[in-house]
Structure 1
Amino acid sequence: MSDAAGTSPENPIDNDAEWVKKQIEEYLATDGEKPTFKGGAPLVLLTTQGRTSGEWRRTCLIGAEDEGRQILVASLGGAPKHPAWYLNLQANPEVVVQNKGAIIRGTARTATAEEKPALWAKMVSLYPDYADYQTKTDREIPVVIVDPIV
């Protein structure tokens, strides 16, 4: 399952931001016990395939488990545009999530209007800044569900 530039889900390119690269390194070195995030919000690693490059890329995000699924929020800090990882999974929904020491291959999708309120409330309870982020942008911040591939 290798693609552009020899990348794969097992050999991705890490996020370009230096602070995120450091988060990823610390996460991998401790099986997700570190780093800690603001307010103790739980972190996961998400690997997606680039929608134009085909390269596999990894980033560190707040994530939570819900009924065996992984839940993510595509907030980009309340920016007016969606984060690149969200655009990537819309084009290529097969993703990999690392939650602590567990590697989960899954299919990502945007929560439906019926699913979103409960999941949004759960994620805001873990990281209250999400509520503030929604007030900063006109776009509806998506909640992403990653269903494991079994």
Structure 2
Amino acid sequence: MNDTEILEMNRNVIEEFRANGGKVTGWVPLILLTTRGAKSGQERINPLISIPYGDNYLAVASKGGSPKHPLWYHNLLAHPDVTVEVGNEKFSARARLLSDDERAQAFAEAAKVFTEYDELQKMTSREIPVFLLEREK
């Protein structure tokens, strides 16, 4: 699936998510992650698999095992202040790229929620990045 097809699919998922209190037919539980474009500064919304992590959430940049990072990865590095939607809840958060043991532990927890992450990691030579989406207090 190319980036244009992904964007169109995402638009449909976002619409259904918001119309149905966070539920999307045929999908695992999702969150909506609102970022600002790394270059454009424009608002971008991406549906991601819901990976609760304590009181926070994880964002796993798997892009289906692609050799490239998803577009939102670059947005988080450039503009880590984000908005997260879970069900009917919406909150501000700060994204922090995890590394080393912290990343390994978070990835293992994410793979417990969505077991395909382990297979996606095997499909790519890049280490799949994991961000902690920390709620603003």
Instruction: For 2:36 and 2:66, locate their aligned partners in 1 and report how far apart those are by CA, in whole Å.
Output: 22
TM (norm. structure 2) is 0.90
Q: Which stretches of structure 1, 4 residues or more, deviate above 6 A after TM superposition?
A: none
Instruction: For 1:120 and 1:89, locate their aligned partners in 2 and report how far apart those are by CA, in whole Å.
Output: 18
SS state at 2:95 partner: strand
| Percent identical residues | 35
How far is 1:33 from its partner?
A: 2.5
The aligned residue for residue 24 of structure 1 is 14
The aligned residue for residue 83 of structure 1 is 70
How far is 1:136 from its partner?
A: 1.3
1:125 aligned onto 2:112: yes
Instruction: For 1:114 and 1:35, locate their aligned partners in 2 and report how far apart those are by CA, in whole Å.
Output: 35
**Corresponding pairs, count:** 133
1:45 aligned onto 2:32: yes
Instruction: For 1:102 and 1:64, locate their aligned partners in 2 and report how far apart those are by CA, in whole Å.
Output: 15
How far is 1:130 from its partner?
A: 1.1
Q: Which runs of 5+ in 2 are unaligned?
A: none
Does the Cα contact within 8 Å between 2:80 and 2:95 map onto a contact in 1? yes
How far is 1:112 from its partner?
A: 2.6
Q: What per-residue deviation string (whole Å, max 9, x for no partner) do you get for residues 70-128 of structure 1?
A: 11100001111111101101010001110111112011011131212222122112212
Q: Give the aligned residue type for 1:18.
A: E
SS state at 2:35 partner: strand
